[in-house]
Amino acid sequence: MDQIVEKGAVLEQSGMYSEKDGLMLQMDIIAGAAENKIDGNSRSSEWGPEAADAMCNEVQDYPVVRGLRMGDLIGATPKEVICKVMLEEKLFETWTYGRTVLLGDACHKMSPSGGLGAQTAMGDAVVLANYINTLTTVESEEVEKALKAYRDERYPIDKDGVKTSAAMFSIIKQGLVGKIARLILGHMPRWLWFEIRARSVRCRPQISFLPLAEDKCQIKALHQPSLEKTRPKNMTVGI
């Protein structure tokens, strides 16, 4: 979705992710597919092996790259690793309880449409590690204080990510919402589109107890409280 689409275009969202073990993960959301609802009685039939087979049949002719279609990838994939998962969007308010803490999808599930799921999860991990690294005691009070600082720093950023992903997903929805979203997108100035996309790369947290990576991005990074608060005194804070 890094290109401006023409007015009236039929939109389909596709994402492909490469796993370290060689598996290829494909996410296809065909306009209107997300409108389907399931109840408790149909959960097994909608999300079991048969449903995965039906999903594969529906997208097998979908072009991936020139000369290659989804069916080629599906055919080369072991059947036992193919599954169908449910799309959920949710931002939880409670991230910590005592010494227990959540990060990533456990506390903020977002649509893959924005491409922010893994990015925000890694950001959570970096900030959480920064605060945990400064602990000098295992007393519950200090641990809970560190976990609260992590939640306070990441919550507004991840909340924005959830909203951005939901907005991107609205583009491929059916009904009035989808039509309005596509109309707006079709007439959106290019500079505004890039400004929206730039928001997704402004948050680039770094680990405070390791040498900082050189920031070569032209877009200025957001202020990172955990880097400032937890950076060892003998190490430079500036990025």
Tell me the DSSP string of 64-100. Answer: EETTEEHHHHHHTS-GGG--------EE-S--EETTE
For residues 103 and 219, membership in a common domain is answered with yes
Q: Look up the CATH number of the domain holding residue 134.
A: 3.50.50
Of the listed ranges 1-10, 88-97, 132-141, the least confidently predicted one is 1-10
Q: How many angstroms separate the Cα of 28 from the Cα of each of 62, 97, 129, 130?
A: 9, 36, 34, 36
Question: Partners of 15 in the beta sheet?
Answer: 27
3-class SS letters over 31-59: CCHHHCCCCHHHHHHHHCHHHHHHHHHHH
Examine the pLDDT at 21 and tell me if it is beyond 60.
no
235 occurs within a structural domain: no
Q: Residue 10: is its pLDDT beyond 50?
A: no
- Name the residue with tokens 């690793």: 81
Query: For the chain, how long is the longest CA-to-CA vector?
Result: 60
Select, from the ranges 51-60, 105-114, 124-133, the one with the highest average predicted confidence (pLDDT): 124-133
Helix axes 140-170, 117-133, angle to 10 degrees: 170
Is pLDDT of 136 > 50? yes
- Report whether pLDDT(15) > 50: no
Ramachandran angles phi, psi of 60, nearest 5°:
-65, -25
Asked if residue 5 is part of any domain, the answer here is no
Tell me the average pLDDT across 13-42.
45
Is residue 7 included in any domain, yes or no?
no
Q: Are residues 152 and 201 in the same domain?
A: yes
CA proximity to 117, closest of 180, 69, 169, 173: 169
Same domain, 45 and 143: no
Q: Which residue has the higher pLDDT, 136 or 18?
A: 136
Looking at the predicted structure, is the pLDDT value of residue 199 above 50? yes
**Residue that is written with structure tokens 């999860």 in the block:** 121
Alpha-carbon distance of 188 to 190, in angstroms, equals 6
| 99 found inside a domain | yes
Output the pTM of the full model. Answer: 0.68
Chain mean pLDDT for the chain: 79
pLDDT tens profile 109-131: 988 877 888 999 999 999 999 99
* pLDDT (0 to 100) of residue 125: 97
Number of domains composing the chain: 2
Asked, for residue 236, whether it belongs to a domain, the answer is: no
Domain that holds residue 49: 12-81
H or E element that contains 135: none
Last residue of one domain, picked from the residues 22, 54, 81: 81
In the prediction, which pLDDT does 176 show? 86
